[in-house]
Amino acid sequence: MKIGNCDLNKQCMIIAEIGQAHDGSLGTAYAYVDAVAETGADAIKFQTHFAGEESTPQDKFRIKFSKQDATRYDYWKRMEFSRQEWIDLAAYARAKGLIFLSTAFSIKAVEVLSEAQCPAWKVGSGDLLTFPLLDRMIEKGGPILLSTGMASWKDIDEAFQYVSSRTNQLAMFQCTTEYPCLPEHWGLNNIARLRDRYNIPVGFSDHSGEIYSGLAAAVYGVSMLEVHVVFSKKCFGPDTKASLTIEELTTLADGVKKIRLAYEHPVEKDDLANRSKEIRQLFSRSVVAARDLPKGHILTMNDLAFKKPNLGTDSKFYKEFLDKKLTTDVEADEYLSEEQLREK
């Protein structure tokens, strides 16, 4: 499966989730594109909201964080960009070398993002079973990326059956709907379970606010890693505590790519040993004389020393020298060999 220029079978696509961190400012959204483009991330993701298409006035805040928005509906209304603004923002992200993604929270959002040439459809876990929304995404074409944060295995099975019967372009994210998410709730064990259960690419959507879970997920071989990003931990917004800074994203992206290289290049111990022969000789030890020893001396343990580099008889054969008589004089630190010995 490919999303933009990312082959999910060959790399881990790193997605910088801006979400609502722009706080309704188009200029700030562009600034995030500029910043993310310098981090090594592959994609930048937003959330496309149209309040009248997805919410009623009864829509409640998860946490009442905003003093300027009386209702969650008002907040979504303030977060809206126009159709043309989304199209232009997507084009700008691509010009900066980023894959543009945005979660569509309504059918209208699907239509707008389709015009913006969004190459894949991220589905929030709250919409895992919103079949009208899924149907429109599938009709538009492109991979469907299902988040499983609030879902049971029954829910996930149902969503998988529904989507996979209509398209083979399907991937999932392990995530936990907790902001910030504690280590004991990361659920890394579910990465392998999702991959084995459905035989599809699996990603990890992180809400920890730290780089450690993302690095750990990379070790599990995830195909996608999504992390929330803010300019500063002091920024205003509902997801700030669960977000990385731009600097942390840069460190994470570098680490994930190196871990992925290691993951794809297993090292055979024998090959490693063969490549290390010269170094091993420098760091291993030979049997040498502990002091000056005369011809005819019968060797005991006190006469032997074991020193680097290993240019003589390997120290593992030291017992072969015990109780043997020297056939020549030997100086201190001289390498001992079988030619210098005879039975006493």
For 5-17, the pLDDT digits (tens) are 999 988 999 999 9
pLDDT tens column, 276-331: 888 999 999 999 999 999 999 999 999 999 999 999 999 999 999 999 999 999 99
175-189 tens-digit pLDDT: 988 888 888 889 899
Q: Give Cβ neighbours of residue 344 (< 8 Å, ≥ 6 apart).
A: 298, 323, 324, 325
So what's the pLDDT on residue 76?
82
Least Cα distance to 8 among 122, 158, 170, 161 occurs for 170
- 251 falls in which pLDDT band (50, 70, 90)? very high
Dihedral, 185, 187, 188, 193 alpha carbons, nearest 10: 170
State residue 250's pLDDT score: 97
Global pTM reads 0.84
Label residue 240 by pLDDT band (50, 70, 90).
confident
pLDDT at 72: 75
Q: Which residue in 165, 114, 162 sits closest to 141, CA to CA? A: 114
Q: What is the pLDDT of residue 318?
A: 96
- Spatial separation of the C-alpha atoms in residues 19 and 236, rounded to whole Å: 12
Neighbour count for residue 125 (Cβ, 10 Å): 20
DSSP structural state of residue 338: G
pLDDT tens per residue, range 88-129: 999 999 999 999 999 999 999 999 999 999 999 999 988 999
What pLDDT score was predicted for residue 43?
A: 98
Is 79 a residue whose pLDDT tops 80? yes
Burial grade of 42 (CB within 10 A; 0-12, 13-18, 19 or more):
buried
Residue 25 DSSP SS3: coil
DSSP label at residue 340: G
> Residue 25 — pLDDT band, cuts 50, 70, 90?
very high
Give CA–CA dist 46/112, Å, rounded.
13
**With contact defined as beta carbons under 8 Å apart, do 173 and 200 qualify?**
no
